[in-house]
């Protein structure tokens, strides 16, 4: 397993939609393991393959947030959100927007169909943090980012903040 670099906004590769996964062989298994190690090291509750510059329809989530909670790693390959209901506003972060937190409106409950890391199809209905994480990561697979959910002023401020951060990081290297 290896920790892989996470792309940061405004990297244009974050806008490339993921292609369906058709091969569930060793390369995918290594990718899933590397994504988990990368997500935990970051630390985060979700990570999409597109955030690593890999245009595949694959994301992982683990919404166990406390040290006393056992890991709940879930792998979603070729996910499809079947429906959503209700509305919730959640203070979201994103590993591709380091340090940023934004209030994002999403469905309160979602039903999703996906495949696991071995290709078996499953469906899950989720609410709470799991529903938020599924929607957030699924957006990544479509080339959509949390900045897209903000109003004009919010988008402008977050964009400036991320460009400034990127510039400061480049200068520090």
Known catalytic residues? 137
C-alpha triplet 57, 13, 32: angle, nearest 5°? 35
- Residue 52 CA to residue 48 CA, distance in Å, equals 7
- The answer to whether the beta carbons of residues 110 and 84 sit under 8 Å apart is yes
Instruction: State the CB neighbour count (10 A cutoff) for residue 171.
Output: 7
Residue 113: name the closest of 142, 77, 73, 79 by CA: 79
Report the run of H or E that residue 77 belongs to, with start and end: strand 74-85
- The answer to whether the beta carbons of residues 103 and 88 sit under 8 Å apart is no
Instruction: State the CB neighbour count (10 A cutoff) for residue 19.
Output: 13
């Amino acid at each position: 397993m290896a920790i892989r670099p996470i792309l940061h906004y405004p990297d244009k590769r974050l806008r490339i939609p993921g292609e369906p996964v058709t091969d569930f062989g060793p390369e995918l298994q290594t990718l899933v393991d590397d994504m988990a190690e990368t997500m935990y090291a970051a630390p985060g509750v979700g990570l999409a393959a597109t955030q690593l510059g890999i245009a595949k329809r694959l994301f992982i989530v683990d919404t166990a947030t406390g040290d006393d909670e056992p890991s709940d790693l879930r792998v979603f390959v070729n996910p499809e959100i079947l429906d959503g209901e209700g509305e919730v506003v959640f203070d979201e972060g994103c590993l591709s927007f380091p340090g940023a937190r934004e209030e994002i409106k999403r469905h309160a409950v979602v039903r999703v169909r996906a495949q696991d890391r071995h290709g078996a199809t499953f469906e899950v209905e989720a609410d709470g943090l799991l529903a938020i994480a599924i929607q957030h990561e699924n957006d990544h697979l479509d080339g959509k980012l949390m900045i897209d959910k903000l109003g004009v002023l919010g988008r402008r401020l977050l964009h400036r903040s991320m460009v400034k951060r990127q510039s400061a990081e480049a200068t520090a290297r």
